[in-house]
Amino acid sequence: MVKVGSALINFAVAIRFPFGWMIKNNIFAQFCGGTSIEESKHSADKLSESGIGSILDYSVEGKTKEEDFDATADEIIRTIVAAKENGHIPFSVFKITGICRFNILEKVNANEILSEKEALEWQHAQDRVRRICQAAHDHQVALFIDAEDSWIQDAIDRLTEEMMVLFNQEDFIVYNTVQLYRHDRLDYLQQLHQHLKLKGAKTAVKLVRGAYMEKERKRAADMGYRDPIQPDKASTDRDFNLAIDYCLDHIQDIALCCGSHNEESAMLLAKRCADKGIAKTDKRVYFAQLFGMSDHISYNLSAQGYNVAKYLPYGPIREVMPYLLRRAQENTSVKGQTGRELSLILEEKKRRASR
């Protein structure tokens, strides 16, 4: 269904067929908070009833025009203002590719010489990032900058680090995202921390495993460079756990968000915090999952008193279709996320029926 449906939806997007009415009350409602900030507040209020925060994520992708990038930056700042006004929205978030052309990031990452027009585009992109981070600092709202493809990530890291030096002098405002399915990221985390310490800035990171493995492996094979991905899942899990330990060992100047759908990682972080005497409510430690996924992790952690938030994507239905299709494709395997969650639900129904 997902394979055929994805093809049909892509065709409908191409011919501008009005399909929103078919999507809104099924896949859209499952994975998105609404079409706007105002609509998403209803989902945020519902989550807050169970002590779960929301992270408003403007999930519009694929733009290439400067005016669209400016509009996206303005919308991200509106999410920061909404977070400031709503105690149930602890973070804002954005992707650099939402406010800058991918090709520009690719060239900057490779240290290629930019044309005069490209250099102006890059300057505008940096200005947008600075404006967003300044708004987060002014409103005292923590801000995630998401990780992306490895061949643009160095450029993202450099820009994010500049913002951390500027805005993390007194508090944990700007968070970089560390993808531990890459074999070099544990070293990067340690180097980032030491670099920021020298600059008098605090380190704030969101730890994730990663989301682009197939694409990363294929590109590395096609272009003949070393695969940036770990050799196996065990190596990823090892580095993820070591990253948790490193952050907690330096909790005096590191804040972390465990952005994982892995039960073992959540339990490990909870245990490590208990062992170190770190309070469940300590704002330097957060757990986060995607809206519509891993509710058994989110709700159980929240019920135990931990800081938990859900990524709450939103935006016009047509504009967030790339995001929705990725979520649907990730959940097609019986052994995947939805399959595991369904089995847990069935087990719980049997348990309740037998009482």
Per mean pLDDT, which range of 139-143, 327-331, 344-348 is the poorest? Answer: 327-331
Specify the CATH number of the domain 33-314.
3.20.20.220
- The Cα 249–Cα 254 span in angstroms is 9
**Structure-token match 């203002």, residue found:** 81
Question: Rounded to whole angstroms, how far apart are CA atoms 242 and 220?
Answer: 26
pLDDT in tens, 284-305: 999 999 998 899 999 999 999 9
- Cβ proximity of 158 and 96 under 8 Å: no
Report the Cα 11 to chain-centroid distance in Å: 28
Q: How far apart are CA 94 and CA 125, in angstroms?
A: 13
Collapse the DSSP code of 355 into the 3-class scheme (helix H, G, I; strand E, B; otherwise coil) and give the result.
coil
3-state secondary structure of 142: strand
User: Does 42 have pLDDT greater than 80?
Assistant: yes
- Between the alpha carbon of residue 278 and those of residues 100, 203, 205, the distances in Å are 39, 18, 17
Distance CA 56, CA 22 (A): 24
CA 78/CA 73 separation, integer angstroms: 9
Summarize pLDDT for 122-131 with one digit per residue, the tens: 999 999 999 9
pLDDT, tens digit, for every residue of 132-183? 999 999 999 999 999 999 999 999 999 999 999 999 999 999 999 999 999 9
Q: Do 309 and 54 meet the contact criterion of CB atoms below 8 Å apart?
A: yes
CB atoms closer than 10 angstroms to residue 138: 13
Please write the tens of the pLDDT for every residue from 266-288: 999 999 999 999 999 999 999 99
Tell me the mean pLDDT in the region 109-130: 98
Task: Give the span between the Cα atoms of 267 and 252, in whole angstroms.
Answer: 22
The pLDDT of residue 33 is above 80: yes
pLDDT of 134: 98
Q: Is the dihedral of CA 170, 171, 176, 178 positive or negative?
A: positive
Distance CA 69, CA 82 (A): 20
Residues 87-110 have pLDDT tens digits of 999 999 999 999 999 999 999 999
Q: Which residue has the higher pLDDT, 16 or 199?
A: 199
Share of the chain above pLDDT 90, in %: 76
Contact 304, 280 (CB under 8 A): yes
Enumerate the domain spans of the chain.
Answer: 33-314
pLDDT, one tens digit per residue, over 227-241 is: 999 999 999 999 999
